[in-house]
Copies of this chain bind each other. A is one copy, B any other.
Amino acid sequence: MKATVHVTLKPGVLDPQGQAIGHALSGLGFSGVTSVRMGKFLELDLAETDRAKAEAAVRAMCEKLLANTVIEAYRVEIGG
């Protein structure tokens, strides 16, 4: 079973990497980009075949390792 995880900075948390990308884009002539926020995207293949169990396992992985829940939010999608 496949799972995807989006890890994003919580609103209000400063994103220097996103800001740097925004500056680089305007330096390349792309005007009109008012904000860039950078996050992580993970694709996991799981041996688990039960959808609910898979989601619970991936959520536990996020809490323990994949996301820093003080400053980051995560979104789990289970599919396939």
Q: Which residues of B contact A18 (CB under 8 A)?
A: 42
Q: Is the CB of A34 within 8 A of B57?
A: no
CB distance from A25 to the nearest CB of B (A): 6
Select A57's contact among B30, B42, B64, beta carbons within 8 Å.
B30
**Is residue A61 contacting chain B, with contact meaning CB distance below 8 A?**
yes
| Per-residue interface assignment for chain A, residues 31 to 50, with 1 indicating a CB less than 8 Å from any chain B CB and 0 otherwise | 11111111111111111100
**Is residue A24 contacting chain B, with contact meaning CB distance below 8 A?**
yes
Q: Is the CB of A48 within 8 A of B32?
A: yes
Interface residues of A in 2-57 (CB under 8 A from B): 6-8, 18, 21, 24-25, 28, 30-48, 57
Q: Which residues of B contact A65 (CB under 8 A)?
A: 21, 24-25, 28
